[in-house]
Every structure is written in structure tokens, then in C-alpha cells.
Amino acid sequence: MSILSKEEAQALLKKVLSYSKADECEVNLNGSDAGNIRYARNSVSTSGGISQNTLVVSSAFGKKLGVATINEFDDESLKKVVQRAEETAMLAPENPEFVSFLGPQTYPASPTFVQSTANMGPKERADAVAASLQISKDNKLNAAGFLENNTSYAAMMNSKGLFAYNTSTGVSFNVTLRTEDGKGSGYATKSYNDFSKLDVKGATASAATKAASSASARALEPGKYTVILEPAAALVLLENLFFGMDGRQADEGRSFMSKPGGLTKLGEKLVDERVNIYSDPFHPELPTSTWSGDGRPQEKINWIENGVMKNLFYSRYWAQKKGIKATPAPDAVIMAGTDQSLEDLIKGTEKGILVTRLWYIRSVDPQTVLLTGLTRDGTFYIENGEIKFPVKNFRFNESPIIMLNNLEALGKPERTVSGESNTNALIPPMKIRDFTFSSLSDAV
């Protein structure tokens, strides 16, 4: 039982609920059928197929809640997991933050499932990787990469009558090409719902160009530079901003959105007015599920509009306590941009540094969202609108809030995926002034 149809999921969830003796019961079910192939040193290394299903039962007696999960689906196991959740609930003290499960909701469909991706098998994956390896060998480079596709479904049902179901497909590809002497490295990453949109050869060729042209990098002094961040580099910084947009954290005084006196910065302009960030589960380039894990509908939401912080996400408990709408956290975000290409941004730059990828991003200070990390796999010096030479990698210490205040220009958004969290987003390349590089790295 890998991918259950809506009807099969509904029948299974009904059966699980029928075993419940709790005041309230909610059951989440998800499963996936995934295949992957990994390669390195111009040869396939590990690969495989993973089929899995998981059932999560949440049982409540009054405000006492217990949760249990299982991945066996015979009747005895289903009874066992319900019983385990109920016994856990009975042993737990009352949780004053427990909010009764949601009643029935209406969810429009989102185009997250694409048959061509679901049809992928070992041969399609091996063929795609063979094409990537050929480009590497033709260019006398060393390739390491990863191609993964998955078909998944998620369903939930509760004793209040709520039922939700969604299927989704995804394919992601990323590759690093290195020169034989180890002095140059280039990277590309792509992710789609639809396999037919994935251009493995194009992505590999782009990484190959960067690898060859990044060899023998020169050292520049650390300091403040104008940078052009490619979408994959921008996302790993911006996602830390989104992760910190929890309303309760802001109200409690422990996030960058908090202000003295127990107030928040909601409604204030925090970044450049050209910054517009929203989520939209129906966006054709980045469709996501139309319901969140606790059954709340996902809608189009503006998070930052013309630089103003417009919305935060809330748990149902905190929203109820504050008497506001319980907006769930989005599954993916979209940042508006312009029609300018990456090349246009480079052409318009007198002096600056082009950053392909940022790596090992960690929070240094949550109060200012100060982050640290390093450039990687293709960092270049730009002068008079042209890439002049590769530069050695830098460590940076920078906050996305400060960065979005130092915005110079935005390019055309493209779908990319975070190398840190695997989160997908539509993000433009962006040009930022006074980006702080604090030290040099010898890493290639």
C-alpha cells in the first residue's frame, strides 16, 4: 500500500476512527513512493527506492491529548496505535492549550500531482544521470549529484467530520562539478512537480561552466561588498526570516518581530518597499497543498507587502486567545521580482560579487536574525557589468532584514530549492549593497 486513492484513504481512516473511544480523535495518514540515484566521482554511488506509509493518531479526553504513530496497517496494529494514543492521553496532564479539532472544511484542488513524475522509474533516473555524467566527462570534470522523484499522498480525518486528501509529485536534481585538480567547483539545483520541466543537461552544463571558470580563484579582502545572490543563495537567507514569523513568538517578545513593551512590528515597514512576499497554493509554478497538517485551509496570503510586515502565522490556540484569524504557516513562499535576468543584473553592476550558493547557514542572533555561513561552488568578481575573475570563498555575517533594506535590484523570480531545508520557493536573483563578508575561506 504505497499511494492510497482518496477512497482507500477515506475507508482506512474511517476504520481507525471506529476504534476510538476518546472524546475526540484525529488521524493523519501519509505515504510516499520515492526513488533516487546518487552519483559521485563520475560514477553512480548509492540509489534506491523507498515506499512508506505512516499513520498518526491524536486522541483527546477533555484537554488531555496523546499522540501515537505507526506504520503497520493490519487491524491489530491499527487498534494498537489508537489504544496507545488513548492511554498516552489518559496518562498526560490536561493541556490548557488544547483546542478542539476542526470541523468539516472545504478545500479546492491544487495541481500538485503530475503523472509523468509518478511514472518515473530506475531507468528514467539512470538515463538522466547518464546524460549528466557525459557532460562531466566531456568537460574533464568530476561530477557528484543527486536525482530524486517521489509520489506522495496525505489524508486526514477526525471525529468532528473533517476529511482532507491530497496527492503530490516532485522531482529534484542537484549537481556539483569540480575540476580534476580540485581548484574549481560549480553547482546547479532544480526542483519541480513535473519531471518534463526538468532539464538535467542544461543544469549540468551550467554547473560545468561555473566549475571551469571558478578555478584559480583570487583572494579579495573581507569587508562590505555589493553582491548579486542567485535565487538558491538568496533563499537560504530569506527562509530564516519566514521561519521567524510566528505570531506567538513575536507577541511573547522573543523574535525579530517583537518590540519593547510587549508590542510587535506587525504593520510596520521593515524592509525596502520593493519587497513583496506572499504564498499561494494555486500558483502554477509552485503549487502546494490547500490544507495544512491540522486541517486549516491554505489560502493566498501576503506576508510582506511593499516592505510592510502584513501577516504572521499562528497556532489555533494562540489565535483564539488573541481573537484573530488562525493563519497557518505556508508550505512555500513566493517573492515578486522584475523582468530582469541574472545577466541584466550583472550588466548593471559597476563592482560586485556574484554568489552561486551559500552554505552552512546558522543563526547567530535570533533577535536581529543575524546569520553566518559561506559562499560555495562559484563566486565571481564583477566589474563594469562583466564577470572578471573567480574569487575565493568568504564567510559572511549578515541579517536578511538588513540585506532587504540594502536592496539595489531584483531580477525575474524562478523556482528554486533550499540546500539547507529542502524548502521550495519562487525567488528572484537580487542585488544587495554592503553585504558583510567577515573572513576568507580556503575551501573550493
Partner 1 sequence: MGAGAFMLPGLSVLGNSIDPLQALDGMDVGLKKALADVALNAARSKGASYADIRIGRYLNQFVATRENRVQGVANTESFGVGIRVIADGCWGFASSNNVEKENIAKLAERAVAVAKANAKIQGEPVKLAPQKGYGEVSWKSPIERNAFEVPVKEKVDLLLNTNAIAMQGGASFVNSVIFAVNEQKYFASTDGSYIDQDIHRIYPNFTVTKIDRSSGKFDTIRSLSTPMGMGYEYLEPKESSKVKGIVTRYKDRYDILEDVKAATANVDEKMKAKSVEPGKYDMVLDPSHLWLTIHESVGHPTELDRVLGYEANYAGTSFLSLERLNSKKFNFGNKLVNVVADKTQKGSLGAVGYDDEGVACKKWDIVKDGILVNFQATRDQAHMIGLNESQGCSYAQSWQDVQFQRMPNISLQPGKEKLSVDDMIKNVEKGIYIIGDGSFSIDQQRYNFQFGGQMFYEIKEGKIVGMLKDVAYQSNTQEFWNACGAVCDESDYRLGGAFNDGKGQPSQSNAVSHGSSTTRFNGVNVINTARKI
Binding status of residue 174 toward partner 1 by CB under 8 A? yes
Q: Which residue, 59 or 349, has its beta carbon nearer to partner 1?
A: 59
Binding status of residue 71 toward partner 1 by CB under 8 A? yes
Dist CA 176 CA 195 (whole Å) = 20
Q: Which residue, 96 or 323, has its beta carbon nearer to partner 1?
A: 96
Binding status of residue 431 toward partner 1 by CB under 8 A? no
Stretch that binds partner 1, among 43-51, 110-118, 153-161, 297-305 (CB under 8 A): 43-51
For partner 1, the binding residue among 5, 11, 14, 50 (CB under 8 A) is 50
Rounded to the nearest 10 degrees, what angle do helices 200-213 and 122-138 cross at?
A: 30
Stretch that binds partner 1, among 73-81, 100-108, 162-170, 223-231 (CB under 8 A): 73-81
Binding status of residue 412 toward partner 1 by CB under 8 A? no
Q: Which residue, 107 or 173, has its beta carbon nearer to partner 1?
A: 173
Stretch that binds partner 1, among 5-13, 37-45, 197-205, 337-345 (CB under 8 A): 37-45
Binding status of residue 261 toward partner 1 by CB under 8 A? yes
Binding status of residue 267 toward partner 1 by CB under 8 A? no
Binding status of residue 159 toward partner 1 by CB under 8 A? no
Tell me how far, at minimum, the Cβ of 361 lies from partner 1, in Å: 7
Stretch that binds partner 1, among 95-103, 110-118, 408-416, 427-435 (CB under 8 A): 95-103
Tell me how far, at minimum, the Cβ of 350 lies from partner 1, in Å: 27
Binding status of residue 190 toward partner 1 by CB under 8 A? no
Q: Which residue, 49 or 108, has its beta carbon nearer to partner 1?
A: 49
Dist CA 339 CA 38 (whole Å) = 35
Q: Which residue, 36 or 338, has its beta carbon nearer to partner 1?
A: 36
Binding status of residue 196 toward partner 1 by CB under 8 A? no
Find out whether 142 and 133 touch, Cβ atoms under 8 Å.
no
For partner 1, the binding residue among 181, 273, 343, 365 (CB under 8 A) is 365
Query: At a CB cut-off of 8 Å and minimum separation 6, what does 273 contact?
Result: 306, 307
Binding status of residue 376 toward partner 1 by CB under 8 A? yes
Residues in region 382-411 near partner 1 by CB under 8 A: 393, 395, 397, 399, 401-402
Stretch that binds partner 1, among 140-148, 197-205, 278-286, 321-329 (CB under 8 A): 140-148
Binding status of residue 316 toward partner 1 by CB under 8 A? no
Stretch that binds partner 1, among 107-115, 171-179, 194-202, 320-328 (CB under 8 A): 171-179
Q: Which residue, 55 or 427, has its beta carbon nearer to partner 1?
A: 55
List the one residue out of 149, 123, 147, 182 whose CA is nearest residue 39. Answer: 147
Q: Which residue, 240 or 290, has its beta carbon nearer to partner 1?
A: 240
Q: Which residue, 70 or 334, has its beta carbon nearer to partner 1?
A: 70
Binding status of residue 87 toward partner 1 by CB under 8 A? yes
Binding status of residue 437 toward partner 1 by CB under 8 A? no
Tell me how far, at minimum, the Cβ of 47 lies from partner 1, in Å: 5
Question: Sign of dihedral through CA atoms 347, 354, 367, 413?
Answer: positive
Q: Which residue, 86 or 280, has its beta carbon nearer to partner 1?
A: 86
